[in-house]
Structure 1
Amino acid sequence: MTRGRKRKFSPEIPGHIDQGALPKGIYWGNGRWYWLEPHPEGGGSTKRTIAGKSARLSDLHAFAEEQASADAAGTLSYLTKQFKHSSEYKELSPRTQQSYDWLAEQACAYVLKDGRTLGQQQVAHLSTPAVQRIVETIAMGRPATGRLPALPATPSKANRILQYLGRLFAWGMRIGACRTNPARGVRKVRERGAHNMPEHDAFEAVLRFARERATRQAHSAGSCSPYLPAVMVLAYNVRLRGIEIDTLTDANITKQGIYSNRRKGSLDNITTWTPELRQAIRSLQAYRADRLAAHGRPTPLRPEDRFLLCSESGTPLTKSALDSAWQRLIAMAIREQVISEKQRFALHGLKHRGITDSEDPADGGHATEAMRRRYNHRVPIVKPPKKR
């Protein structure tokens, strides 16, 4: 591993780390290890948290080696970063850009059988059958085996990644970065109709559990992310998807209630205030203020720049971080027998629950009757036929 210039000794760096052997591009600050990613077109770099204070020097070197491999020209990771700085990407709406960034991250993080990630794979070595196998594995899920991590069954995510890869490779062909489009001809998977909606008792049990665990010191045994109770309240009451919660800002807070920011063609509406909703918003704003102050970050002036969900370092929370925090909470709730494995539910299932419990299924913002029926799981009560 190539090292940078000799660094000055820092007393803040954990004592078990040999500072003279740190790999290039990795730095310590605010109790975390960071990776500096250079901008492909110059003009600075971006900072990304990669590990906590317990990380070993070997862990840092392994990450740096992996990153160097993933950034090699011709890899999928390299292509996604080039696409992000293209005129085609910059013409997309901010919401689409954010969605593509998340899909690129998920696709590049997929672990192949040899232990490498898909992001490290040379695009020229990808084929239509290989992409088909990846899509089907993401859709059907897989158990943890050896070096392969477990994957939940997510057919909708599989199809979205396929759609993104198809556009990415098509762009790559137009600029000469790809000879073929290995996503062309790949069959979409059938998205299961299961809604994974929680029963009321499971929902309430996990919400109580999250509220108690959110009060524990961060990173202590049994703790959960402080924002998760508010996320559950918003997902249910405002009937939002995870990405819609993740992108809420102070601009969505009105006198009447919470103005939604729905995706996929759904119609925005305002959910009127309840004491529970007000408490959820106050808790998110208080946590944000605390984190900004703790890290010396200024509060953005414009309401649309003040995201309600933030990370421990005060930066806007990524969708992948929200998904990871949710999965940890549900796994812990099952492990501690708050709910059973059969009662497991998805964050998106809370939107199903909220629409089902609403007086009018149209409150979920769906523009078509077909989608309203998909989310409304109430069993109709009908009268028996009259005898003739």
Structure 2
Amino acid sequence: MTRGRKRKFNPEIPGHIDQGSLPRGLYWEDGRWYVLDPHPEGVGRIKTTVANGKVRLSDLHAIMEGRGGGSVRGSLDHLTEIFKKASEYLDLSAKSQQGYDYCAAKACGYVLRDGRKLGQQRIEHLSVPVLQRVVETMATGRPAIGKVPAIIPTPAAANRVASYLRRLFAWGIRHGHCAANPADGIRKVREKRDARMPDHDSFEAVLRYARARAALKAHTAGSCPPYLPAVMVLAYAVRLRGIEVDTLTDANLLREGIRSNRRKGSRDNVTKWTKELRDAVRWLQAYRQERMAAHGRPTPINPEQRRLIVTESGTPLSKSALDSAWQRLIRRAMADGIIDQESRFALHGLKHRGITDSEDKASGGHVTEAMRQLYDHSVPVVKAAVKPKKDR
């Protein structure tokens, strides 16, 4: 294909750009670089800004190569793609790979103020200040600016992206794909601790609603999984995380009560039986037996293999399925006016509620007092200050 007619010299183009080396299909006007794209209605063409006047010539070539399909060698997009073929990535668990893919998409899809995506940037042009601004903008959010979309604040996701980029560039250095790690000096943002702990009225309202929805025929309009009311009782009374409720087995059921299976270094303890706990456990065991028999599944002899919470087909319930069921229940409860947006709470919030309502400081299994206080939201009642009496 012939190159076409030679460009005329344009004195308005920034001086650091070699006009004779500009890629085809790229134009300059009013301090911006643009391309001509087909009009969405099929009539004529429209101007699409792709960069501002500060970009380098290599950036412009990378942008045009990227628009032609695929990632440009040396760009962040390209580095993330070749990392996914490396043994360091392939050796990860499926869940870790899913998390890395999420971070890669979030980082590469980040839209800069000039309209370009971070994934199109060449690695050598990235620096600590650039990536620090990206992480902080993800954490604090940004309003829409012209055609640049708004960014919803997500501090936890911003920190995950920072950790991913740090590992990505470290791998790139070891394998000769980049010379430095521009994410090595990034400071993580402070994450706001949001317990979303329910008040007692909201908790009771959602529990009643869950019981009513669970009593409906499965897969009918308005129904919810029948195990959800028991999950709420266990999460609150035994003060468990969602994953800890999900993985309870018959081995956790002792004569004195329910032994926890806590994560993150917390100490296990035994919560004494109450009528509500016995009713919840008996219902789960009866439902498990019914579902396993209906699908011809044998009952495991080992109590550690008999999970309390199972699916409709009698198989152990996954944590992701529990999370999805919980979110559907809460959204439906808000739509039906059971609770409002301000009263919405997380499944993990039931652990906060349980620890706050407990008099025993060891109830949550926390190793330190500082960790316990993160879960205990009760307000202490103390005596007023009184001047000491003087000795006569």
| TM-score range relative to shorter protein | 0.5 to 0.7
CA displacement, residues 67-125 of structure 1 (integer Å, 9 cap, x when unaligned): xxxxxx98679949965863xx6xxxxxxx797477468658979869xxxxxx99999
1:140–1:155 Cα contact (<8 Å) kept: no
Aligned to 1:28: none
* Identity between Structure 1 and Structure 2 (%): 52
Aligned to 1:261: 261
State the 1:312 CA deviation: 2.9
1:139–1:158 Cα contact (<8 Å) kept: no
State the 1:326 CA deviation: 1.0
In 2, distance between residues paired with 1:156 and 1:350?
21
State the 1:224 CA deviation: 1.2
Residues 273 and 155 (structure 1), Cα distance of their counterparts in 2 relative to 1, 3 Å cut: farther
Aligned to 1:233: 233
In 2, distance between residues paired with 1:156 and 1:189?
8
CA displacement, residues 283-307 of structure 1 (integer Å, 9 cap, x when unaligned): 2223323333333333333222222
The amino acid across from 1:373 in the alignment is Q
Residues 215 and 280 (structure 1), Cα distance of their counterparts in 2 relative to 1, 3 Å cut: same
Residues 104 and 379 (structure 1), Cα distance of their counterparts in 2 relative to 1, 3 Å cut: same
Residues 123 and 242 (structure 1), Cα distance of their counterparts in 2 relative to 1, 3 Å cut: farther
Residues 315 and 214 (structure 1), Cα distance of their counterparts in 2 relative to 1, 3 Å cut: same
Aligned to 1:293: 293
Correspondence list, 1:185-200, <5 A:
185-200=185-200
State the 1:353 CA deviation: 0.6
Aligned to 2:343: 343
Aligned to 1:245: 245
CA displacement, residues 216-245 of structure 1 (integer Å, 9 cap, x when unaligned): 222221111221111111111111111211
The amino acid across from 2:241 in the alignment is R
Q: Secondary structure at the match of 1:208?
A: helix
In 2, distance between residues paired with 1:235 and 1:357?
13
Aligned to 1:204: 204
Q: Structure 1, unaligned stretches of length 5 or more? A: 1-72, 90-96, 115-120, 143-147
Q: Secondary structure at the match of 1:201?
A: helix
Correspondence list, 1:125-144, <5 A:
137=138
Correspondence list, 1:19-34, <5 A:
none
* Number of residue pairs aligned between Structure 1 and Structure 2: 296
The amino acid across from 1:256 in the alignment is E
Aligned to 1:313: 313
In 2, distance between residues paired with 1:378 and 1:285?
34
> Is 1:374 paired with 2:380?
no
Q: Secondary structure at the match of 2:362?
A: helix
Residues 339 and 279 (structure 1), Cα distance of their counterparts in 2 relative to 1, 3 Å cut: same
1:234–1:277 Cα contact (<8 Å) kept: yes
TM-score (norm. length: structure 2)? 0.61
In 2, distance between residues paired with 1:212 and 1:253?
27
Correspondence list, 1:1-388, <5 A:
79=84, 86=91, 100=96, 103=99, 137=138, 155-156=155-156, 159=159, 163=163, 165=164, 169=168, 184-387=184-387, 388=389
Residues 204 and 290 (structure 1), Cα distance of their counterparts in 2 relative to 1, 3 Å cut: same
Q: Structure 2, unaligned stretches of length 5 or more? A: 1-77, 111-117, 144-148
The amino acid across from 1:301 in the alignment is I
Residues 295 and 347 (structure 1), Cα distance of their counterparts in 2 relative to 1, 3 Å cut: same
State the 1:187 CA deviation: 3.8
In 2, distance between residues paired with 1:220 and 1:177?
57
TM-score (norm. length: structure 1)? 0.62
The amino acid across from 1:349 in the alignment is G
CA displacement, residues 258-308 of structure 1 (integer Å, 9 cap, x when unaligned): 111111221111111111111212222233233333333333332222222
State the 1:356 CA deviation: 0.6
The amino acid across from 1:287 in the alignment is Y
Residues 346 and 154 (structure 1), Cα distance of their counterparts in 2 relative to 1, 3 Å cut: farther
